Amino acid sequence: MGEMVAGIMTGPEIERLIQLLARLPGLGPRSARRAALHLLKRREALLDPLARALTDVAAVVKACHVCGNLDSVDPCSICADPRRDTGLVCVVAEVGDLWALERSGAFKGRYHVLGGTLSALDGVGPDRLNLNGLIQRAESGAIREAILALDATVDGQTTAHYIADRLSGTPAKVSRLAHGVPVGGELDYLDDGTIAAALNARRPA
Amino acid sequence: MDWTDDGIVLGARRHGESSLVVSVLTHGHGRHAGLVRGGAGRRARALYEPGNLLRVTWKARLAEHLGRFACEPLSSDAALLLDDAGRLAALTAACALIEAALPEREPHPGAYDALARLIRALPQAGYEAAYARWELGLLTELGFGLDLARCAATGSSDALAYVSPKSGRAVSAAAAEPYRDRLLRLPRFLVEDAPADRSDLVDGLRLTGHFLSVHVFAARQGGVPAARLRLFERLARPAAMKQAI
């Protein structure tokens, strides 16, 4: 017996596919229907490879036990890369932030993924973050410098200060990303808070 | 239905991919939440940081609906505090306490004025004392004010040095002598314009924290908000105790 998807009769398998696609970021029910139809029309070129890729990812991808990054090997490719600076560790909230830093190509050290930030409103405390691994890495002397690359938000910076406190008794030097005018940013269009932060963080020219 | 009021952001949660449910403490409408469409966008997100002052216009078809906020920024105080761990901890704790302690949609203009004063005081020296006094005021606003004017035992207003953890009334040093270990220390800066050292500040926050815990958060799941506990831990750490304000 078929089911109605916005007036269209479909089998339960297609309905299930549309429902799952609609839960992805950036997709709603309408775009999920389009994506499902696109997949079904390109079965050999897209649907089968995608299904195999999803199965493979689900089977092999896991969190790196050292840094928390997602990869198919453990330790992850970044932790296992001997060309990277092992003493320089960038602390990020989510794997998406790690990917953003890797895209920039500006950082050649290693990472530590917290899995979130402290949040007063959502009741996220230190026990829900991947902090113990970072502190153990710092206490062992493996970290020369920890760069706190967390959001310039109240929650992000509260987390940064908390981590800086926790690392204060370890050999690791702690630094954080600068706050201020973004590259290409015009002062006239910046919000008051960013301008204030940039003024506070000014440096000699 | 609609109204416009000034509001201090207490927090914001994502709603879908691009919207936020923002909670603000307004002057005339109390703690109030509303949906901000597009609030999670790159440009708008900075407005909805805790401590920022906004002019909010709330609109809904029915009073009991969540409704939508249209917001104009008035001041971005949060950005000035991001680099200072202590001040940021005080701001976060204040917003978390208001969010957890005040009932929704019940006007508390006194609480709004007090929070606005505290946020203005946070960038200045002696902000910890201002914070402790603010918590004392919050207890009064919530109906659990402490009687620190005179001694519960003798009626005297001299040499008040302790507070009963049960009655919330001050006790003079002499009258408190037999029960001293069971009483909470009352630092002078909470009753008069006096300087406060680190130990006084810790005692002040221990005092207000006790009554917040017993009267305001006893029935709340999770108890006192974690941000307030972290503020106290930060202030009470031995390294911090050595510093003078």
* Least confident stretch, A2-11, A92-101, A146-155: A2-11
Do the beta carbons of residue A10 and residue A32 sit within 8 Å?
Answer: no
> Is A100 at the interface with chain B, CB within 8 A?
no
Do the beta carbons of residue B67 and residue B10 sit within 8 Å?
Answer: no
Do the beta carbons of residue B69 and residue B23 sit within 8 Å?
Answer: no
ipTM score assigned to the predicted complex? 0.84
Query: Which residue from B43, B88, B234 is facing A154, i.e. has the nearest CB?
Result: B88
Distance, in Å, from the CA atom of A1 to the CA atom of B43, rounded to the nearest integer, reads 48
Q: What is the pLDDT of residue A3?
A: 53
pTM to 2 decimals? 0.86
**So where are chain B's domains?**
2-80, 83-241
Do the beta carbons of residue B175 and residue B186 sit within 8 Å?
Answer: no
Say if residue B193's pLDDT is above 80.
yes
> Is A107 at the interface with chain B, CB within 8 A?
no
pLDDT digits (tens, 9 = 90+) for B73-106: 999 888 889 989 999 999 999 999 999 999 999 9
Q: Which domains does chain A have, with CATH numbers?
A: 3-60 (1.10.8.420), 77-204 (3.40.1360.10)
pLDDT digits (tens, 9 = 90+) for A173-189: 999 998 888 888 888 88
Q: Is residue B244 very low, low, confident or very high in pLDDT (cuts 50, 70, 90)?
A: very low
pLDDT digits (tens, 9 = 90+) for A19-57: 999 999 889 889 999 999 999 999 999 999 999 999 999
Superfamily (CATH H level) for B2-80: Nucleic acid-binding proteins (2.40.50.140)
Assess if CATH 1.20.1440.120 describes domain B83-241: yes
Say if residue A7's pLDDT is above 70.
no
pLDDT digits (tens, 9 = 90+) for B7-31: 999 999 999 888 999 999 999 999 9
Contacts for B162-165: CB closer than 8 Å, 24+ residues apart: B162/B186, B163/B207, B165/B210, B165/B214
Task: Identify each DSSP E strand in chain A by its residue range.
Answer: 3-5, 8-10, 62-63, 70-71, 88-92, 110-113, 145-148, 173-176
Do the beta carbons of residue A149 and residue A91 sit within 8 Å?
Answer: yes
Q: Where are the alpha helices (DSSP H) in A61-191?
A: 77-80, 95-104, 132-139, 154-166
Say if residue B145's pLDDT is above 70.
yes
Q: Is residue A5 very low, low, confident or very high in pLDDT (cuts 50, 70, 90)?
A: low
Mutation to test the A interface, candidates B43, B45, B92, B243, most A Cβ within 10 Å: B92
Q: What is the pLDDT of residue B119?
A: 96
